[in-house]
């Protein structure tokens, strides 16, 4: 179902039951999966893949050239997973670098005016509220939640099931399962509601809380906190926190 006012390149790969609404523009190297709906005035270009069952609201732009001085027109990609919802005026830009990728996973919800810059990796089940903004090369773990008008500095990582409060500025890596808020952002404990809703056991939540206290003990630096965690870890959730803290970082850990 393609509206007569839409412009769809004949080389684009469009599944049979896709709906493309009025005044949409779909470029030559675009693929759109089954059941996806482009409601109207949506622009999709570049080397872009959109999965099945997605809903893309008016004036969203996907796959535009990155706002990066280094980008020189090389072949780079934008990928959107299945069942993801992109609300009005969302912008997701292609990567910088030959064969590089900007990606948003399955079952994500990106509300109005969200921006995902070049080379970002957004996991599955992520929620980004209105006007949340990601600079280039940001990594957002599965099921993380970013509040409205939150901003994330380039090359920063946000761990799984973490929560960022509205209007927060994130300029260092946020470990999984924790809650932060403010400008600059400060830790405020666990994303307790999110963890309970996700079915984390009491033992898992208790270990996450204990590791939170170790990491943010004013007498501890990150290295000493990791040593203490390793000496007492019992759950896979605790091991995930340790792995995040030990992984390479360009920004350091939010303390």
183 and 201 inside one domain: no
Share of the chain above pLDDT 70, in %: 100
What does pLDDT average to over the chain?
98
The bridge status of strand 169-170 relative to strand 185-190 is unpaired
* pLDDT of 193: 96
Q: Can you give the chain as a three-state secondary structure string? A: CECCCCEECCCCEECCCCEECCCCEECCCEEECCCCEECCCCEECCEEEECCCCEECCCCEEEECCCCCCCCCCCCEEEECCCCEECCCCEEECCCCCCCEEEECCCCEECCCCEECCCCEECCCCEECCCCEECCCCEECCCCEECCCCEECCCCEECCCCEECCCCEECCEECCCEEEEECCEEEEEECHHHHHHCCCCHHHHHHHHHHHHHHCCCCCCHHHHHHHHHHHCCCHHHHHHHHHHHCCCCCCECC
Task: Look at residue 13 and tell me if it is in a domain.
Answer: yes
Domain limits at 19? 7-189
d(CA 253, CA 65): 31
12 and 88 inside one domain: yes
* pLDDT of 68: 97
Share of the chain above pLDDT 90, in %: 99
62 and 179 inside one domain: yes
Angle at 21 between CA 17 and CA 27, to 5 degrees: 80
113 and 155 inside one domain: yes
Whether the bond between 184 and the residue before it is cis, its omega within 30 degrees of 0, is: yes
**pLDDT tens, position by position, 242-251:** 999 999 999 9
Task: Look at residue 85 and tell me if it is in a domain.
Answer: yes
127 and 47 inside one domain: yes
**pLDDT tens, position by position, 108-160:** 999 999 999 999 999 999 999 999 999 999 999 999 999 999 999 999 999 99
**How far is CA 235 from its chain centroid?**
26
Residue 157 sits in a domain whose CATH number is 2.160.10.10
* Residue 229 binned pLDDT confidence (cut-offs 50, 70, 90): very high
d(CA 235, CA 196): 16
**pLDDT tens, position by position, 4-48:** 999 999 999 999 999 999 999 999 999 999 999 999 999 999 999
d(CA 190, CA 213): 10
| Domain boundary pick from 159, 189, 219 | 189
């Amino acid at each position: 179902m393609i509206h007569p006012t839409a412009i769809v390149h004949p080389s684009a790969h469009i599944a049979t039951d896709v709906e493309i609404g009025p005044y949409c523009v779909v470029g030559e190297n675009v693929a759109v999966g089954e059941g996806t709906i482009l409601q109207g005035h949506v622009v999709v270009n570049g080397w872009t893949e959109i999965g099945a069952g997605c809903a893309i609201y008016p004036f969203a732009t996907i796959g535009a050239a990155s706002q990066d001085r280094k980008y020189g027109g090389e072949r780079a990609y934008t990928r959107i997973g299945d069942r993801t919802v992109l609300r009005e005026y969302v912008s997701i830009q292609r990567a910088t670098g030959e064969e590089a990728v900007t990606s948003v996973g399955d079952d994500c919800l990106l509300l109005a005016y969200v921006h995902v810059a070049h080379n970002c990796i957004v996991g599955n089940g992520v929620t980004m509220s209105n006007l949340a903004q990601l600079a280039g090369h940001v990594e957002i773990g599965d099921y993380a939640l970013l509040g409205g008008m939150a901003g994330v500095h380039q090359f920063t990582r946000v761990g799984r099931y973490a929560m960022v409060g509205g209007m927060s500025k994130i300029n260092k890596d946020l470990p999984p399962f924790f809650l932060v808020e403010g400008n600059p952002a400060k830790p405020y404990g666990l994303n307790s509601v999110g963890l309970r809703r996700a079915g984390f056991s009491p033992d898992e939540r208790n270990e996450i809380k204990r590791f939170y206290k170790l990491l943010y003990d004013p007498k501890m630096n990150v290295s000493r906190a990791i040593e203490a965690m390793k000496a007492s870890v019992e759950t896979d959730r605790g091991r995930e926190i340790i792995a995040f803290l030990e992984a390479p970082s360009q920004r350091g850990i939010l303390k």
